[in-house]
Structure 1
Amino acid sequence: MLKKTVLFCLFLQVALGIIYAQKVDSALIRSTRAYYNKYFNDPTDPIVLTASDTLLNMAIKANDTVMTKMALGAKLDYYYYGQGENRTDSVISGVNLLKQYARKIKNPELYYWAWSARLVNYYIMQGEYNVALIEAEKMLREAEEEKLESCIAECYSALANVYSAKGLLKKSQEFMLKEIQLFEKGVKRYNISFQYSDAAKIYIDLGEEEKAPELLKKALSTAKSPYHRVTAKLVYIPLYLAQDNIDAAHQALEECRQIYADEPSLRRHLHYFHDVEIDYNRKVGNYSKALDILETQKNEFKKTNSLTALSELKKTEADILWDMKRKEEAAGLYREYLQGQKEEKEKNEEITTSEFATILNLQQLSAEKRELERISQEEQLQNTRLILFFAIGILCILIFFLFMQRRLNRKLQWSKDKLNEKNRILTEAREELYKAKEIAEQSNWMKTVFIQNMSHEIRTPLNSIVGFSGVLVDMLADKEDIGQYVSLIESNSKLLLKLVGDILDISAFESDMDINLYPVEVNACCQAAIELGGMSFSQDVKFFFEPTCDELTINSNHSYIVQVLDNLLSNASKFTREGSITLTYEVKEETKQLVFIVTDTGIGIPADEQEHVFERFVKLNDFSQGTGLGLSVSRIIAEKLGGSLTIDKEYTQGSRFVFCVPM
């Protein structure tokens, strides 16, 4: 009794420890998410630098891969969106960290996203178009080698952005349409709405605005965020302007303004709205307002030191001044713009020259490698000649051995003849054994048929005995002695009936009987099994049923699931005198299985006997009531249903049976 009490206390302590650990893990995850929501609303806030390190430590401790990715990306975005010194080195370092983490967790989409959306786009923002192009092409080669279509689509997106920045609109549109084609074939693309919007904008810029509406409809239908939707709606403004529909353009502009006002997350993308607003005001002749907005844009880009964007604004300002007939001021700005373009071109040419020099060095190394390979081939040819001479010598030796082998073959032939004679005798014996095997199988089949017929014949009178025994128990309940005798008759009749039923089940399954499958409600199966086995529970034993779902339907067989659960609960109640018995189930999504678990705090099963109990007529306690067929029949049913029945060997506080069936 003392031993059982100690074991129960230990089990309770372990269970409470597991529950506490789960609560700690979930609490860590909640606190990590709350910390992110508190400090990471604005990627340009300096607090992001210190908060991202704290968030990373919290995410690692909570084993939260999503927050780990967000922590690494937050510090990268701080520099990407124009904050801090040594931005280029910081962006490259941040991208490399994110790529390493993506490889670690085997997430190629994150790997190529960091490379494309952050490194390539950063070079574009800095005006280093040739460097961006080299990175994008390198990325495409790597993705094509790995044969990852979703990552190839990401590379197409990067190349489209590079060519768009270089002003090569048709080339940019070519890669956008390639990415769209992959998406329409089934490749998942979260930002595909942008490609539809950008392709439509290019058609408008090329004077083919009649092709834009269809693409914009697709952009809105594939939008997954407010940023996607507002980007598509912004393109409607130049479309309406191209169609000279000023009222529709103004209405679309105000609708976009309201979206930006309602969504705080769009704040960092506000410059796209200002670009469209400037174009609209210029088109309708409201030049002063266009210049005011442009001045606001200049101040924002000066804060982030976005030189390329400032240069483009200078050209836009010159265009507006030219439209306002302020041609001298416009000419001055054009000169400054052209001078900046010239300097930018020289800078890019210098970088490109450096890259080409690197490529030439690689080509030289390749040539040297080819020369070394040629020398190596000549040495291999010399070695081949030597090998050939050795081969001729070995051939001569082989001929000698073949001559000796022929002599041995004659002796072996004589031995072979003797073996053939013995094989003939063995073949005759095998045929006789085969005939004996057929006779034995026929006898076994006749035995099975006999058992089935006899079991059926025995079951009919037994049903009557069991039924009328129950009636007698009710009638003679007030007569204690007679009632006990009748109750004993009833219980033993039920035991005999179960034995007959188990024998019938084994005989049926041995004859390859198929089980019919149909929709089954899991909780109803559990309740039916509890009602069948509940009468045998001791008053000192607590029973718990812990359903995972309020309602769950699977394709299986109600009767056989109830039979297995009834056997498991009956076994648990038979060997558990105090403590608890628990029936629960859980859904394994990765294997598409439903797992029933019956746990008790009884005497348990020794480790060396845990497979032995599934054999027929096996009882570890010869004095316990039962046929020794229940677990054997249950395992056969589990396998016929396409599942399994096992014992959890790690559970030591009693017995735990695990019954799996396919969903």
Structure 2
Amino acid sequence: MVKAQETLKETTQLFSKNTELRIKRTTNLLEIETNYYIETGEFDKALDVFQQAFEKLSQNGFITPTLYRTRGSIYTAKKDYQKAIESYEKAFELSDSLNSAQEDIAVGEFATILGMEHLNLENKELIQKNQEIQLETRRYIIILLCIIVVIVGIMFFRETRLNKVLRRAKDAEQSASRMKTEFIQNMSHEIRTPLNSIVGFSQILSSKISEEDEESKEYTTIIEQGSNHLLQLVDDVLELSSLDSGTTIPIDTKSELNELCLQWMERAKRLVKPGVVLSYQPEQNELYLYTNPARLGQVVLQLLHNAAKFTEEGGITLSWRILPKQKQIMICITDTGIGIPQDKQEFVFERFAKLDTFSKGTGLGLALSRLIMERMGGNLALDAQYMDGCRFILTLPI
């Protein structure tokens, strides 16, 4: 305990000297002090320090059942059983409310699953009805053929040959239909069919709603945008899966870099907010290289889209220069936006990673962009030294 006290004093001195610690981690120090005083039996000091931590956490809305239990244990040690009981009751009430909230979330998720199952069931019923109609049609054809064979005996040989051809065509049609059905069901039936139905019906609803009914128009627009968002998510996941499986990206197309950059800048103009300056800074007037223009453009446009999304004022710059020693070319997208914290600069490249959970997007753009660059023999990273916004750096072998 003597060594613990010495360490606690040293820590307290560090907190007094470091403003960032004092602002962000004060409650952690107070909790450690509380535990120390509980271990040494100084329960009055423990209660005083705990109250300071409790008040700070209350201001930030971080009160948990554990805090009330800790306060209850301190009052128990002091033999103030009435206050101990009150603290434990508070802990139980908060635990119950948290459990109730978790149950509500679970019920909502279950309802969503049931909704998807209902859509799948309806789609299967439609497929089954269509197959029944086709079967009924084929039965009528067979009956008609039989009547023709009976009536036109002279044409027996010709009809026999015709029936053989029809049977082969029927078998081929059934085989092709079965293969096509299996492929569609396996690849897109479970996800794309329901979503496409939602998009289609939302468009129909939107076309039938009068212009005066703005609220209904807004609802159908939200449905359509959400469905398109989910379809984009499916496409991104399928592309990630394809690249994960080892799909190669050819880089054998000779291209002039300035021409590509100007095309990307032209497409990015409509994304930039009013008042934000979009500029291009090449190192030289002409540079030919072998690359994959489509894939490289996909990555650069994704980064320009992100820069435009988070830049309210200032500028966005696309630039490039050659690194002779490394035999690489470095392309930079620099903005004066909100920036990314130092401790999150690798997190943003993880799949489904989003710093703001309420912002639009799937959280797959940067992960997919880095994977594409790796498949092209390059890399995508953030410049940790740039502090006025964000600077993404693409490196490619020349």
**Which TM-score applies when normalising by structure 2?**
0.46
**Which TM-score applies when normalising by structure 1?**
0.29
Point out which structure has higher relative CO (alpha carbons under 8 A, 6+ apart): 2
Larger radius of gyration: 1
Q: Which has the higher helix share?
A: 1
Q: Which has the higher strand share?
A: 2
